[in-house]
Chains A and B, each alone.
Chain A
């Protein structure tokens, strides 16, 4: 995670947004309706449509911010707020660099929204959790709630492909066929995949690959089609 990514999300912090939105929003809407509203005779003017579009965009993004501003405990940019409810359990602890530990020169933690996104509605909760990024093991379901590419893209926004290759070459051949969470735990104090003995690494390969059907072409294997 670098500083710029954190800053991007921090800029979404919605603390002062309600003041901007509530009175101004209504006025702006009225103005648009008056000036560029639909007229049966003239039809829509192009300029009006563009302005309505911009306004809709602004309203959308502002309302996204207000959702959690109303309740500071739901501020998705603050890991501590999320963890007041999402504490994890012994099997799935909420620890480590992805679990709110502060690190780096800015002493900032990765926010939950950095990886899970904020959802289309801007609220993890109000979106009924349909459009947030969920990180899942490939074997959990054939219909991943979040597509493989989207899951891995969230990881790749910080963990660069070149760094992954240096860490272990097996990142390369699995990049398009496995979710990162298939091998890695995401909120542990220490990822168990780190520092594996050579023979244990080999065992990881064998355990998985010996279950694959023998006649598949592993160089053209797509995980989307069937169970791994």
Chain B
């Protein structure tokens, strides 16, 4: 087989170009340039009143039957009158490494570079629901009116856009929710994370969730 100099260079260039193109990710960049918004749920302060759920529904116009945010109450631990409950916030964890964004074929699931918030662009969504299946926290649902996936976006397009705190944070009567920039060492959330023992859900999956939690006193560990 003859191989002219011209053909060799041409195929060489094509190979370099091809590998170069293949390296461009289909999804948007995971790099965060500005703020890194995170949330802390202090389970030792939470009273399970679900005021956050109501506020979220009202602010983000979430229809009944679905929810961006749930407070899951445990079974009673102990007998009356000494029974206790634990409360767990189920909502988007705004992962640094979000599986929902990875699987999205159209770029509708994205991570905002300026804030780190994981959000959905309904205009780009093709409705494959890969993201709903991929989320290990099972927080995505199909919005019954938009017919596209929906979930918590830290009120990015509502309260946050107006310079206010997320609705759940403002509504909490016991200040069990703290929201802020985890990249700023002076922010309240950074200081809480730095000084108090926190945990995150399903860390071994490698999702790097940005919803931090302070465990209550009803857990397995002796207090």
Residue positions of A touching B, CB distance < 8 A: 152, 161-162, 164-165, 169, 171-173, 175-176, 199, 202, 205-206, 209-210, 212, 214, 217-220
B36-70 interface code vs A (CB 8 A; 1 in, 0 out)? 00000000110101110010000000000000000
CA of A152 to CA of B80 in the docked complex: distance in angstroms? 12
Interface of A is mostly: helix
**Contact yes or no, B84 A205, CB < 8 A:** no
**Contact yes or no, A199 B76, CB < 8 A:** no
Which one of B81, B83, B218 has the greatest number of beta carbons of chain A within 10 Å?
A: B81
CB-based nearest B residue for A211: B173
Known contacts A169-B73, A202-B51, then 17 further A-B pairs from the complex at CB < 8 Å, ordered by chain A residue: A161-B80, A171-B80, A173-B83, A176-B81, A176-B82, A199-B54, A202-B49, A202-B54, A205-B49, A206-B171, A209-B49, A209-B173, A212-B174, A217-B44, A218-B45, A218-B174, A219-B44
**Contact yes or no, B85 A206, CB < 8 A:** no
Interface of B is mostly: loop
How many Å from the CB of A157 to the closest CB on chain B? 14
Question: Which of B80, B174, B175 meets A162, CB within 8 Å?
Answer: B80
Question: Which of B45, B83, B173 meets A172, CB within 8 Å?
Answer: B83
B216 within 8 A of A: yes
Residue positions of B touching A, CB distance < 8 A: 44-45, 47, 49-51, 54, 73, 76, 79-85, 171, 173-175, 216-218
Give 10 CB contacts A-B under 8 Å. A169-B76, A172-B80, A172-B83, A172-B84, A173-B83, A175-B83, A199-B54, A202-B54, A214-B175, A219-B84
**Contact yes or no, B173 A205, CB < 8 A:** yes
CA of A172 to CA of B175 in the docked complex: distance in angstroms? 22
How many Å from the CB of B146 to the closest CB on chain A? 24
- For B79, list chain A residues within 8 Å (CB): 161
How many Å from the CB of B164 to the closest CB on chain A? 18
- For A173, list chain B residues within 8 Å (CB): 47, 83-85
Question: Which of B73, B82, B173, B217 meets A206, CB within 8 Å?
Answer: B173
CA of A165 to CA of B77 in the docked complex: distance in angstroms? 12
- For B218, list chain A residues within 8 Å (CB): 219
**Contact yes or no, A205 B85, CB < 8 A:** no
**Contact yes or no, B174 A209, CB < 8 A:** yes
How many Å from the CB of B62 to the closest CB on chain A? 14
Question: Which of A161, A165, A172, A205 meets B51, CB within 8 Å?
Answer: A205
CA of A141 to CA of B217 in the docked complex: distance in angstroms? 30
CB-based nearest B residue for A206: B173
**Contact yes or no, A164 B174, CB < 8 A:** no
- For B85, list chain A residues within 8 Å (CB): 169, 172-173
Which one of B73, B80, B174 has the greatest number of beta carbons of chain A within 10 Å?
A: B80
How many Å from the CB of A20 to the closest CB on chain B? 41
CA of A172 to CA of B77 in the docked complex: distance in angstroms? 10
CB-based nearest B residue for A210: B173
CA of A152 to CA of B81 in the docked complex: distance in angstroms? 10
How many Å from the CB of B58 to the closest CB on chain A? 10
CA of A220 to CA of B223 in the docked complex: distance in angstroms? 12
CA of A122 to CA of B175 in the docked complex: distance in angstroms? 49
- For B84, list chain A residues within 8 Å (CB): 172-173, 219
